[in-house]
Amino acid sequence: MNDSGRRTVYIAGTCDTKAAELAYVRRLVAAEGVPALLVDLSTREAGASAADIGAAEVASHHPGGAQAVFTGDRGSAVAAMAVAFERFLAAQGGIGGVIGLGGSGNTALVTPAMRALPIGVPKLVVSTVASGNVAAYVGASDIAMMYSVTDMAGLNRISRTVLANAARAIAGMARGEPVAAEADDKPALGMTMFGVTTACVNALVAQLEAEYDCLVFHATGTGGQSMEKLAESGMLAGVVDATTTEVCDLLMGGVFPCSEDRFDAFARVRMPYVGSCGALDMVNFAARETVPERYQGRNLYVHNAQVTLMRTTAEECARMGRWIGEKLNACEGPVRFLIPEGGVSALDAPGLPFHDPAADRALFDALEATVRQTERRRLQRLPHHINDPAFAAALASALRDAMAEA
């Protein structure tokens, strides 16, 4: 934070290739009355003089020192500078926002540091790759991506316009006051939901919203990661992880997988955790023709033109039960895991495409055989379908019980 108490916007990129564009953004941010610093992320020691913070200074934050960055090999140098920039930003106070610009290389340089910043700190990247799949760059963070339209190869009538919009956007975000909400005086609660568990989570929110600020995450891989990022940042008081379906896609190769460290954040922070088996009956794929050949003879359900679901088998369900059970065993905080014996999704009920009691039983039995139950870690089997109101009530009760134990 500068002397006037205003927070600073950091403009980051490689001055050896993007000096004119970076200086242009810095000038426009400053013209909006927001302090701005240009940070050079060039991977050659002779950085451009236009930067307020030179590449050597940033590189010195690498655990191996600047020599670990300026290796002469572009690939290793870019990877090392990304680490150095993340550590550099972590050491700064009063960050009002961060904006980066460039192609895939610059985007890969700036986004790891942005992902490490807390949710709510303004983050914007103007990139040539922003119109494609940016999941690898954004991850579970709140990075905003803006497509550059033209390549970042000098200033022209298009790039000036796009960069001016970006500069004013980050300045406006940095200048704004934190948003106050009516729920700010209530502890935040994370929840996971999928379309096929919507009835359960909606009923759960209705029962808990008077006590908690309910944050619902779409269980599409990054949803679970986002919830765990907030949990580890201390922004959640507890979670009701009703929809653990991302595990299906991780283990069976679907398109919405969690990462291997799913559940680990809850173990590290020992927070109250309530979970269930929501949508563990399905693996997600894209259009019907994209389903892998090895799965073509399986029970497939075309959800829409872009999404095809595959019913998990008894063997796969048992595998998931063991995997989740071992993760729960690592959690030392209050844990309640509820099993809906009447079905785990809207498609898993008598007469519906994914009703398979034998597969469900394999899942439930594997969980029960794997979870080491204690006073603080409990498994509960209930005769309800996951979308029954009674099951939502049981989840709410389990959450209150876990919170009281914390």
304-323 pLDDT, tens per residue?
888 999 999 999 999 999 99
Q: Do 243 and 192 contact (CB within 8 A), yes or no?
A: yes
Domains parsed from the chain with CATH numbers: 8-175 (3.40.50.12020), 182-405 (3.40.50.12030)
Q: Which residue has the higher pLDDT, 139 or 100?
A: 100
Span of 5-9, 15-19, 20-24, 135-139 with lowest mean pLDDT: 5-9
- Crossing angle of helices 104-116 and 74-90, in 10° steps, is 30
Amino acid 119: pLDDT: 86
Q: Do 258 and 275 contact (CB within 8 A), yes or no?
A: no
5's CB contacts (< 8 A; 6+ apart) are none
The mean pLDDT value of the chain amounts to 92
Answer whether residue 175 shows pLDDT above 70.
yes
Residues in the chain, how many?
406
Name the pLDDT band for 182 (thresholds 50, 70, 90): low
How far is it, in rounded angstroms, from Cα 37 to Cα 20? 14
Q: What is the pLDDT of residues 323-375, one digit of tens each?
A: 999 999 999 999 999 999 999 999 999 999 999 999 999 999 999 999 999 99
115's CB contacts (< 8 A; 6+ apart) are 138, 139, 140, 141, 143
Q: Which residue has the tokens 């914390």?
A: 406
Amino acid 181: pLDDT: 53
In the chain, the percentage of residues whose pLDDT exceeds 90 is 80
Amino acid 151: pLDDT: 82
Q: In 10 A of CB 154, how many CB atoms?
A: 10
Amino acid 247: pLDDT: 98
Name the pLDDT band for 4 (thresholds 50, 70, 90): very low
Q: What is the pLDDT averaged over residues 83-104?
A: 93
- Crossing angle of helices 357-370 and 314-329, in 10° steps, is 30
How far is it, in rounded angstroms, from Cα 361 to Cα 312? 12
Q: Which residue has the higher pLDDT, 278 or 181?
A: 278
Q: In 10 A of CB 378, how many CB atoms?
A: 16
| Phi, psi at 284, each rounded to 5° | -100, 135
What letters, b where the CB count within 10 A reaches 16 and e where it falls short, cover 36-69? bbbbbbbbeeebbeebebbbebbbbbbeeebebb
Amino acid 184: pLDDT: 65
**334 in helix, strand or coil?**
coil
Amino acid 56: pLDDT: 92
Amino acid 3: pLDDT: 41
Q: What is the pLDDT of residues 26-69, one digit of tens each?
A: 999 999 999 999 999 998 765 546 899 999 999 999 999 999 99
